[in-house]
Amino acid sequence: LWGTDSIWYGSPQDQIQAFRTFQISAELRERHGYPEMTPALRAKIFGLNAANVYGLTPTEVKRYTARDSVARKRMAYLENPDPHFRTHGPKTRRDFLRVFDPAG
């Protein structure tokens, strides 16, 4: 699920924005049998698959979350937006390997 690593790396918003326009070339789709990235496929990746796992319909999810604490915070944020999309943690392979280096 999108965002499950947010506790470690911060907002996944940059990844989400990139994925919204991501396409697999026709050549790679043909060679490897990848499906075309359609709006329906993106919707599944962005949440419909999870709704299905939990036995919920999109309508039920909207009904349950329309006035929950996250919705209230979202509404408050929209009154004074301050997007920053900070990403934490390693950003390069070298940074990632340094995490596991006992010498620091």
* pLDDT at residue 13, rounded to an integer: 81
More confident residue, 8 or 74: 74
Tell me the whole-structure pTM to 2 decimals. 0.60
- Domain segments of the chain: what residues? 12-81
Render pLDDT for 76-94 as a digit per residue (tens, 0 to 9).
999 999 887 777 778 888 9
Residues facing 87 on adjacent strands: 10
Cα 29 from Cα 75, distance rounded (Å): 40
Whose structure tokens read 């918003």?
13
Q: Which one-letter DSSP state was computed for residue 5?
A: T
Start-to-end CA distance of the chain, whole Å, equals 31
Contact status, residue 9 vs residue 88, Cβ threshold 8 Å? yes
